[in-house]
Structure 1
Amino acid sequence: MPDEHRSRSVTRADVARYAGVSTAVVSYVLNDGPKRVAPLTKERVLDAVRVLGYRPNAAARALSMGSADMFGLLVHDNRNPFFAELCHALDQASADRGRSLLIVNSDRSQVSTAEQIRDLVSRQISGLIVADVLTASEQALVESLHIPSVIIGQFGETEGLRSIGVDFCAGARSAVEHLIGHGYQDIAFVGSAARFDERERGWTEALSAARLPLGRLVHTPFSYEGGYDAGVRLVEGDRLPRAVLAASDQIAIGMLAAFGERGVRVPDDVAMVSFDGTVVADFVWPRLTTAVQPLQLMADTAVHSLIDGSEDRSYQEFTAQLRIRESCGCPTPQH
C-alpha cells in the first residue's frame, strides 16, 4: 500500500483519486448501482480498492442508504445443534434476499439480553430476529425500538410482536401416538422443567386419549449432558419404561449414550422418539425417529416478514412432521 495511506484509514475519496474517477462512481461500483459503470472503469476502481486496502464503513453506508442491508439475530446458544441449523437457515434466507446476518448469543453471563438487543440495534440493522425466550421487560424494549422484529421458535403468541413457531403439542402428540401404535403402554417423557413445555402437554394428551397411565416424567436441561443424566436416572429407577419421548434430539442422543454404556438396547428394551429433526439425528445408531421442525420454511417466513415491513403482530404456527427411523422400533426405511 502507498506510504501516504499507512498512517490513516483509507477513504472513498482516496479510492476515487487513485482510480481517477468521482466518489459517486466508486459508490456505484461498490454498491452495484444504481448507475451502470463501464467494465474498464469498474476494474480500475476495484484495483484501487485492492491496492489501497479500502474497507467500506458498513455503518456509514447503512446511514447513507437510510437503512442497513443487515439483520441482527439474537440466539440463545448457537452451539446447540437445533439453533446452529436455525442460524444457518436464517443466514441462507437473508442472503437469498441480499441481506447479511449478524449473530449474537444471548447466553453471555457478562452482558444482559437487553444490552445485547440495544447493541444490535445501534449497529444500524434493518431488522431484528430473536430466537430466545424474552422476559416481559425485554419484549417491551423490542417494541419500543420501532424496528421490524420477529420472534422465532416460540410456544405461542408473543403479545405485541410478530412471532413464528411450531405446534409443539400436536407434534409431540403425533410422536406418542406413533409409539402407542407399536403397542407400547409405559411411555416416559424427558424434557425441561424451566417452563411448561407444550411437548409435555402433547405427551399427556396422547396417553390420556388412549386411556393409558402417564409414564415417568423426567426434567433435565436441553443438552447432551442433560439427556445422559436423564438416561442414567431412567436405568437406575424402579423399572425401565418401554418407550420415551425426548423433547429434543440433543436430549435423545445423550440418553442413547447412557443406555449404550449400561447395556440397554434401543429400541429392543426402550423405544425412543425425539423432537426437532436436526441433521445429527440421522448419524447416530439407531437413527432417531423425530418430529421435524420446518426450519427453512420458518426462516424464509421470518426474513420475508422483516423485508415486508408490515405491522402484522400475529403468531404464525407451523406443523412438525414425524420422520420415521429405527429408534421407535420401525424397520429400516427403504430408499
Structure 2
Amino acid sequence: MKDVAQHAGVSTATVSRVLNGHAAPTPETRERVLAAIEELGYRPNALARSLRTTSTQTLGLVISDLLNPFFAEIARAVEDEARSHGYCVVIGNADESAEQEATYVRTLLDRRVDGLLLCPATDDPSLVREVSAGGVPLVLLDRTVRGATCPVVRADGSEALTALARRLVGAGHSRIGVIAGPPNTSTGRERTDVLTGALGGVARVVHGDFRQESGSQAAAKLIDDGVTALVVMDNLMGLGALGEIRARGLQIPHDIALAVFDDQPWFPLLDPPITVIAQPTVEMGRAAARSLLALINGQQPDDVRLTAKLVLRGSCGEAEL
C-alpha cells in the first residue's frame, strides 16, 4: 500500500479507502490510485487482512468425491449461494478417504476459512469434534456422524424407497438385488435399512463403495445370484451396474429391472430411461451454504431435511404395471 500511495502521490489512508470501496477525496484521486494499483500489479494480502478483520470471506467445502456428479452439482450450488453473499468457496476432494478428508479439513482451517461444510467420509465423529472444539462454524452436508451437534442438511429418501419397493414387489419381482453403499456412512446404512425393511425377505444385499467399479462387481454377483431387479444406492455405482448389464447382453427391463438413487441429466436419455430417486441437489447445496452463513453470523439454524422423490421411468417396466 505504501508503494501504491507513493506512486499515486497520496496517503496510505486514501489507498485504503479506495480498496475498501469508500469515496476518495475526488474522482481524479480515485482514478490515480486505481491506475497505480494496475501499473504496480498490487494485490491486497487477504491473509494479513483477515488477521485484522478476523474474516477471510471464505468458506471451506470438503466433499466425498469430486468425480461424482451429485457432489459436483452440490459444490456448484454452494458456490453460487456463497458468492451471492460475498463469499468465496475453497473445495477439497476427500475421495471417499477419511485420511484425505482430515488433511483437507485441517488445511482449510489453517487457511482461516470463516466456516466449513463437510460431507463426512465415515461415521467417525473425531474430526467433527476437532473442528467444533476449535470454534469454527461447521455444517454437515448429505451425511451425518454419530453424536453430531452441528446443523445437518440432507435429503430423506425413505418414502421414495418404500414406494419403489412396493412397485417392484407389485410387479412380481421375488429376488431383488440391492447394491448398497458402505455401512460406515450414514447414507449407505440408512438407505439400505429402509429399502430392505420395505422389501422384506426378497432383498439380496451387496455393499459397494460409491464408486463405479464396485457397482459393476456387485451387479455381477447379484445377477449370478438370480435377481430380477437391481436397486443401486448411488449414481456412480448405478453406472457400473448398467455397464455390467449391457456387457452381459441383458435387456432392461425385460431381463432385469434397474433403479438408481440419484438422478443425472443423461438418465432420461437412455433406452430405456432409468427410474431414479431424485434428490433436490441444488436446494441442498444452497441450504447448506445459508446454514453455514447463519452460524458465522451468530445464529443457530435448525437441521434441514429435504425430500427425495421417486421418478418412474421405463427401466422398471412401469408401462407394463
Work out whether the TM-score is over 0.5.
yes
- Of the structure 1 ranges 268-277 and 41-50, higher mean CA displacement relative to structure 2 is found in 41-50
Of 278, 294, 300 in structure 2, the residue corresponding to residue 292 of structure 1 is 278
Of 192, 204, 207 in structure 1, the residue corresponding to residue 199 of structure 2 is 207
- Report the Cα offset of residue 45 of structure 1: 3.1
- The 8 Å contact of residues 127 and 149 in structure 1, kept in 2 or not, is answered as yes
Structure 1 unaligned segments of length 5 or more: list them.
Answer: 1-11
**Is the partner of 1:274 in helix, strand or coil?**
strand
Give the TM-score taking structure 2 as reference length.
0.86
Of 74, 85, 91 in structure 1, the residue corresponding to residue 79 of structure 2 is 91
Give 1:197's aligned amino acid.
R
Structure 2 unaligned segments of length 5 or more: list them.
Answer: none
Give 1:170's aligned amino acid.
E
**Is the partner of 2:113 in helix, strand or coil?**
coil
Describe the shift of the 1:325–1:248 C-alpha distance in structure 2 as closer, same or farther (beyond 3 A). Answer: same
Give 2:108's aligned residue: 120
Identity %: 33
Give 1:64's aligned amino acid.
R
Give the TM-score taking structure 1 as reference length.
0.83
1:56 correspondence with 2:48: no
1:253 correspondence with 2:239: yes
Superposed CA RMSD: 2.6
1:98-247 superposed matches below 5 A: 98-107=86-95, 113-133=101-121, 135-154=124-143, 158-195=147-184, 197-208=189-200, 213-235=201-223, 237-239=224-226, 241-247=227-233
The structure with more helix, counted as a fraction of residues: 2
**Alpha-carbon separation, structure 1, partners of 2:98 and 2:211:** 22
- The 8 Å contact of residues 249 and 274 in structure 1, kept in 2 or not, is answered as yes
1:276 correspondence with 2:262: yes
Aligned length: 312
Give 1:8's aligned residue: none
- The 8 Å contact of residues 274 and 289 in structure 1, kept in 2 or not, is answered as yes
**Alpha-carbon separation, structure 2, partners of 1:168 and 1:179:** 16
- The 8 Å contact of residues 161 and 314 in structure 1, kept in 2 or not, is answered as no
**Is the partner of 1:203 in helix, strand or coil?**
helix
Give 1:9's aligned residue: none
